[in-house]
Amino acid sequence: MDLSQKYYLPWHFPFRKELAGILVILVIFLFFPYFIRSIDVTAAAIDPGIFSAIILAVSAILIFKAVTWWILTAIWPVFAEYSSEHFERNFKSLLSWQKVIIYLGFYLLLVFAFVATLAAII
């Protein structure tokens, strides 16, 4: 099966987890102020706003992850094939210090990219 067929068939939607997470966090974001007021009727208008900021940050992370993976697979589909079939085996064959360097480097790049994206939006 061609890689483009695999990722565009309706029964194999590659972002099911990301989409489900985004939808769940969106529902939580929309219904949280009503929920907090049902628990504490004296909750001020700012109370749901503060907690909603945390929910909004989580949704921004999920959307950022889904969009970056979608762009990466659209621009470089060979990476998607490599990550699904060969990456785990190759990563396990590395030495432990190489794994740590790759993991921390990747994590820091994602954090810096996320911070830069939020800074650009705000």
Q: What tokens does 91 get?
A: 């990563």
**Contact (Cβ atoms closer than 8 angstroms) between residue 66 and residue 17:** no
Q: Which domain holds residue 55?
A: 1-76
Please check whether residue 56 lies inside any domain of the structure.
yes
Q: What tokens does 70 get?
A: 């979608």
What is the rounded average pLDDT of the residues 88-109? 88
> Average pLDDT over the chain, rounded to whole?
76
Are 39 and 58 within one domain? yes
Are 7 and 48 within one domain? yes
pLDDT in tens, 7-16: 444 555 555 6
Residue percentage of the chain with pLDDT more than 90: 4
Are 44 and 103 within one domain? no
**Contact (Cβ atoms closer than 8 angstroms) between residue 51 and residue 34:** no
Half-sphere CA count of 113, side-chain side, radius 13 A: 11
Please check whether residue 81 lies inside any domain of the structure.
no
Q: How many domains does the chain have?
A: 2
Are 20 and 47 within one domain? yes
Query: Global pTM?
Result: 0.51
CA 55, CA 26: separation in Å to the nearest integer? 8
